[in-house]
Protein backbone atom coordinates (compact mmCIF):
# COMPACT_ATOMS: atom_id res chain seq x y z
CA UNK A 1 0.00 0.00 0.00
CA UNK A 2 1.24 3.46 -0.82
CA UNK A 3 2.04 5.71 2.10
CA UNK A 4 -0.02 8.88 2.66
CA UNK A 5 1.94 12.07 2.19
CA UNK A 6 -0.33 14.47 4.02
CA UNK A 7 -3.68 14.43 5.70
CA UNK A 8 -5.41 17.65 6.59
CA UNK A 9 -8.88 18.92 7.26
CA UNK A 10 -10.53 21.41 4.93
CA UNK A 11 -13.90 22.88 5.92
CA UNK A 12 -16.36 19.97 6.22
CA UNK A 13 -14.30 17.65 4.08
CA UNK A 14 -11.06 15.81 4.66
CA UNK A 15 -8.25 15.95 2.12
CA UNK A 16 -5.79 13.11 1.78
CA UNK A 17 -2.87 13.28 -0.61
CA UNK A 18 -1.19 10.03 -1.58
CA UNK A 19 1.26 8.82 -4.16
CA UNK A 20 0.70 6.23 -6.85
CA UNK A 21 3.13 3.79 -8.40
CA UNK A 22 3.92 3.77 -12.13
CA UNK A 23 1.87 1.43 -14.27
CA UNK A 24 2.62 -0.59 -17.38
CA UNK A 25 -1.04 -1.11 -18.25
CA UNK A 26 -2.76 0.25 -21.31
CA UNK A 27 -4.86 3.37 -21.09
CA UNK A 28 -8.15 3.01 -19.25
CA UNK A 29 -10.03 3.78 -22.42
CA UNK A 30 -8.16 1.39 -24.72
CA UNK A 31 -9.59 -1.74 -23.14
CA UNK A 32 -7.99 -5.16 -23.05
CA UNK A 33 -8.67 -8.29 -25.06
CA UNK A 34 -7.58 -10.49 -22.15
CA UNK A 35 -10.27 -9.36 -19.72
CA UNK A 36 -12.43 -12.27 -18.56
CA UNK A 37 -15.99 -11.10 -17.97
CA UNK A 38 -16.90 -14.46 -16.48
CA UNK A 39 -18.23 -13.96 -12.98
CA UNK A 40 -19.89 -10.60 -13.73
CA UNK A 41 -23.48 -9.88 -14.70
CA UNK A 42 -24.95 -6.72 -16.20
CA UNK A 43 -27.30 -4.91 -13.86
CA UNK A 44 -28.44 -1.78 -15.67
CA UNK A 45 -27.63 0.61 -18.48
CA UNK A 46 -28.88 4.06 -19.44
CA UNK A 47 -28.16 5.96 -22.64
CA UNK A 48 -29.63 9.41 -23.27
CA UNK A 49 -27.15 10.34 -26.00
CA UNK A 50 -29.62 9.89 -28.92
CA UNK A 51 -31.92 12.51 -27.34
CA UNK A 52 -29.21 15.03 -26.47
CA UNK A 53 -29.77 17.20 -29.57
CA UNK A 54 -33.43 17.65 -28.67
CA UNK A 55 -32.82 18.95 -25.16
CA UNK A 56 -32.22 22.56 -24.22
CA UNK A 57 -28.85 21.89 -22.59
CA UNK A 58 -27.74 19.21 -25.08
CA UNK A 59 -26.39 17.29 -22.10
CA UNK A 60 -26.52 13.52 -21.92
CA UNK A 61 -25.39 10.59 -19.82
CA UNK A 62 -24.25 7.06 -20.54
CA UNK A 63 -24.34 4.63 -17.62
CA UNK A 64 -23.25 1.01 -17.39
CA UNK A 65 -23.46 -1.08 -14.24
CA UNK A 66 -22.25 -4.63 -13.57
CA UNK A 67 -21.75 -6.71 -10.46
CA UNK A 68 -20.02 -9.92 -9.49
CA UNK A 69 -22.14 -13.05 -9.48
CA UNK A 70 -23.42 -13.57 -5.96
CA UNK A 71 -22.78 -9.94 -5.02
CA UNK A 72 -25.01 -8.80 -2.17
CA UNK A 73 -24.79 -5.28 -0.82
CA UNK A 74 -24.66 -5.23 2.97
CA UNK A 75 -24.70 -2.50 5.60
CA UNK A 76 -20.91 -2.69 5.77
CA UNK A 77 -20.52 -2.12 2.02
CA UNK A 78 -18.82 1.12 1.01
CA UNK A 79 -19.10 3.19 -2.15
CA UNK A 80 -15.96 4.68 -3.67
CA UNK A 81 -16.18 7.25 -6.45
CA UNK A 82 -13.28 8.09 -8.75
CA UNK A 83 -13.28 10.94 -11.28
CA UNK A 84 -11.30 10.03 -14.40
CA UNK A 85 -10.32 11.65 -17.67
CA UNK A 86 -8.08 10.72 -20.59
CA UNK A 87 -4.80 11.42 -18.75
CA UNK A 88 -2.40 8.85 -17.24
CA UNK A 89 -2.75 10.64 -13.89
CA UNK A 90 -6.39 9.65 -13.52
CA UNK A 91 -5.47 6.10 -14.47
CA UNK A 92 -3.05 6.01 -11.53
CA UNK A 93 -5.81 7.35 -9.27
CA UNK A 94 -8.21 4.55 -10.23
CA UNK A 95 -5.47 1.94 -9.83
CA UNK A 96 -4.62 3.29 -6.38
CA UNK A 97 -8.27 3.14 -5.38
CA UNK A 98 -8.66 -0.47 -6.55
CA UNK A 99 -5.43 -1.58 -4.88
CA UNK A 100 -5.75 0.20 -1.55
CA UNK A 101 -9.37 0.92 -0.67
CA UNK A 102 -11.80 -1.43 -2.40
CA UNK A 103 -12.72 -4.56 -0.49
CA UNK A 104 -15.09 -7.46 -0.99
CA UNK A 105 -18.69 -6.23 -1.16
CA UNK A 106 -17.88 -2.61 -2.05
CA UNK A 107 -19.19 -0.50 -4.93
CA UNK A 108 -16.93 1.37 -7.36
CA UNK A 109 -18.29 4.34 -9.32
CA UNK A 110 -16.02 5.73 -12.06
CA UNK A 111 -17.20 9.01 -13.56
CA UNK A 112 -15.98 10.96 -16.54
CA UNK A 113 -17.36 14.39 -17.29
CA UNK A 114 -17.37 15.50 -20.93
CA UNK A 115 -17.22 19.29 -21.04
CA UNK A 116 -17.60 20.69 -24.56
CA UNK A 117 -15.69 23.81 -23.56
CA UNK A 118 -12.69 21.62 -22.71
CA UNK A 119 -13.09 18.76 -25.17
CA UNK A 120 -15.52 19.04 -28.15
CA UNK A 121 -17.98 16.13 -28.27
CA UNK A 122 -18.38 14.79 -31.80
CA UNK A 123 -18.32 11.01 -32.02
CA UNK A 124 -20.92 9.49 -29.69
CA UNK A 125 -19.99 5.95 -30.74
CA UNK A 126 -16.44 6.44 -29.48
CA UNK A 127 -17.81 7.69 -26.16
CA UNK A 128 -19.79 4.48 -25.72
CA UNK A 129 -16.70 2.47 -26.62
CA UNK A 130 -14.57 4.39 -24.12
CA UNK A 131 -17.12 3.71 -21.39
CA UNK A 132 -17.09 -0.01 -22.16
CA UNK A 133 -13.29 -0.04 -22.15
CA UNK A 134 -13.22 1.73 -18.79
CA UNK A 135 -15.57 -0.92 -17.44
CA UNK A 136 -13.25 -3.63 -18.78
CA UNK A 137 -10.23 -1.96 -17.18
CA UNK A 138 -11.90 -1.94 -13.76
CA UNK A 139 -12.74 -5.64 -14.12
CA UNK A 140 -9.10 -6.28 -15.05
CA UNK A 141 -7.87 -4.34 -12.02
CA UNK A 142 -10.20 -6.36 -9.82
CA UNK A 143 -8.77 -9.61 -11.22
CA UNK A 144 -5.29 -8.60 -10.07
CA UNK A 145 -6.58 -7.84 -6.56
CA UNK A 146 -7.93 -11.16 -5.30
CA UNK A 147 -10.98 -11.04 -7.59
CA UNK A 148 -13.28 -9.48 -5.02
CA UNK A 149 -17.06 -9.51 -5.35
CA UNK A 150 -17.88 -5.91 -6.17
CA UNK A 151 -20.36 -3.71 -7.98
CA UNK A 152 -19.03 -1.42 -10.73
CA UNK A 153 -20.76 1.60 -12.25
CA UNK A 154 -19.36 3.73 -15.07
CA UNK A 155 -20.90 7.16 -15.66
CA UNK A 156 -20.11 9.29 -18.71
CA UNK A 157 -21.89 12.63 -18.33
CA UNK A 158 -21.89 15.71 -20.55
CA UNK A 159 -21.83 18.99 -18.66
CA UNK A 160 -19.67 21.32 -16.60
CA UNK A 161 -16.99 19.36 -14.77
CA UNK A 162 -17.35 20.90 -11.32
CA UNK A 163 -21.13 20.90 -11.02
CA UNK A 164 -21.53 17.52 -12.71
CA UNK A 165 -19.14 15.78 -10.31
CA UNK A 166 -20.85 17.40 -7.33
CA UNK A 167 -24.26 16.28 -8.63
CA UNK A 168 -23.02 12.69 -8.92
CA UNK A 169 -21.52 12.85 -5.43
CA UNK A 170 -24.89 13.90 -4.04
CA UNK A 171 -26.65 11.19 -6.05
CA UNK A 172 -24.37 8.26 -5.12
CA UNK A 173 -23.35 9.52 -1.65
CA UNK A 174 -19.94 7.78 -1.77
CA UNK A 175 -17.72 7.25 1.26
CA UNK A 176 -14.95 9.12 -0.55
CA UNK A 177 -14.08 10.79 -3.84
CA UNK A 178 -10.72 9.99 -5.44
CA UNK A 179 -9.20 12.40 -7.95
CA UNK A 180 -5.78 12.88 -9.52
CA UNK A 181 -3.38 15.76 -9.75
CA UNK A 182 -0.75 16.25 -12.42
CA UNK A 183 1.89 17.51 -10.02
CA UNK A 184 2.12 21.09 -11.22
CA UNK A 185 4.93 23.44 -10.27
CA UNK A 186 4.63 24.88 -6.79
CA UNK A 187 5.47 28.31 -5.46
CA UNK A 188 8.15 29.01 -2.87
CA UNK A 189 5.48 29.38 -0.18
CA UNK A 190 3.89 26.05 -1.10
CA UNK A 191 7.30 24.38 -0.89
CA UNK A 192 7.84 25.81 2.60
CA UNK A 193 4.42 24.59 3.73
CA UNK A 194 4.80 21.22 2.05
CA UNK A 195 1.57 21.77 0.13
CA UNK A 196 0.29 19.60 -2.69
CA UNK A 197 -0.08 21.66 -5.91
CA UNK A 198 -3.71 21.57 -6.98
CA UNK A 199 -5.67 22.71 -10.00
CA UNK A 200 -8.82 24.81 -9.81
CA UNK A 201 -11.14 21.80 -10.11
CA UNK A 202 -9.33 19.92 -7.34
CA UNK A 203 -9.52 22.93 -5.05
CA UNK A 204 -13.23 23.35 -5.81
CA UNK A 205 -13.98 19.72 -4.99
CA UNK A 206 -11.99 19.85 -1.76
CA UNK A 207 -13.92 22.85 -0.50
CA UNK A 208 -17.36 21.90 -1.80
CA UNK A 209 -17.50 18.12 -1.56
CA UNK A 210 -19.60 16.76 1.33
CA UNK A 211 -17.44 13.60 1.40
CA UNK A 212 -13.67 13.12 1.96
CA UNK A 213 -11.52 13.83 -1.10
CA UNK A 214 -8.44 11.71 -1.83
CA UNK A 215 -5.84 13.24 -4.15
CA UNK A 216 -3.45 10.83 -5.86
CA UNK A 217 -0.12 12.22 -7.02
CA UNK A 218 2.18 10.54 -9.57
CA UNK A 219 4.93 8.70 -7.71
CA UNK A 220 7.72 9.86 -10.02
CA UNK A 221 6.96 13.48 -9.13
CA UNK A 222 6.89 12.62 -5.44
CA UNK A 223 10.23 10.82 -5.56
CA UNK A 224 11.84 13.69 -7.47
CA UNK A 225 10.57 16.17 -4.88
CA UNK A 226 11.78 14.03 -1.96
CA UNK A 227 15.19 13.49 -3.53
CA UNK A 228 15.59 17.23 -4.03
CA UNK A 229 14.65 17.88 -0.41
CA UNK A 230 17.10 15.29 0.92
CA UNK A 231 19.86 16.75 -1.27
CA UNK A 232 19.52 20.05 0.60
CA UNK A 233 22.44 20.22 3.14
CA UNK A 234 20.22 21.96 5.68
CA UNK A 235 17.64 19.18 5.54
CA UNK A 236 20.34 16.50 5.79
CA UNK A 237 21.65 18.18 8.94
CA UNK A 238 18.16 18.19 10.45
CA UNK A 239 17.59 14.56 9.44
CA UNK A 240 20.81 13.47 11.18
CA UNK A 241 19.84 15.49 14.25
CA UNK A 242 16.42 13.91 14.76
CA UNK A 243 17.72 10.53 13.63
CA UNK A 244 20.04 10.37 16.61
CA UNK A 245 17.15 10.54 19.07
CA UNK A 246 15.28 7.26 19.42
CA UNK A 247 12.34 8.82 21.23
CA UNK A 248 11.49 11.38 18.58
CA UNK A 249 8.43 10.43 16.48
CA UNK A 250 10.07 11.83 13.33
CA UNK A 251 13.23 9.79 13.75
CA UNK A 252 13.00 8.36 10.23
CA UNK A 253 10.88 9.21 7.25
CA UNK A 254 7.92 6.93 6.56
CA UNK A 255 8.00 7.88 2.91
CA UNK A 256 9.52 5.53 0.32
CA UNK A 257 12.27 7.30 -1.58
CA UNK A 258 15.48 6.44 -3.35
The pLDDT tens digits of the residues spanning 220-258 come to 555 655 666 666 666 555 556 545 545 444 444 444 444
Give the best-scoring range by mean pLDDT among 65-69, 122-126, 235-239: 65-69
pLDDT band at 78; cut points 50, 70, 90 = very high
4-243: CATH topology: Rossmann fold (3.40.50)
Task: Classify the phi-psi angles of 214: left when phi > 0, otherwise alpha if psi is within -120 to 50, otherwise beta.
Answer: beta
Give the best-scoring range by mean pLDDT among 57-66, 90-99, 167-176: 167-176
Asked if 109 and 138 count as a contact pair (C-beta separation under 8 A), the reply is no
Write down the pLDDT at residue 150: 95
Helix (H) or strand (E) holding 250: none
* Domain residue ranges of the chain, discontinuous segments joined by +: 4-243
Mean pLDDT of 118-144: 84
Amino acid sequence: MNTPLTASGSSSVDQLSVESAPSSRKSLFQGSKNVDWKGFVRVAGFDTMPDADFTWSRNFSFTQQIKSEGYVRTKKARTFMCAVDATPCSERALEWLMENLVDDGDQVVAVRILDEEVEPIQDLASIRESAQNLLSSIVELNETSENRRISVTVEFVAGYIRTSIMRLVVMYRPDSLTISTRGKQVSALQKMLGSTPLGSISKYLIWQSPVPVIIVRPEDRVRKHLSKRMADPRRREYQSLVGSEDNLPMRTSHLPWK
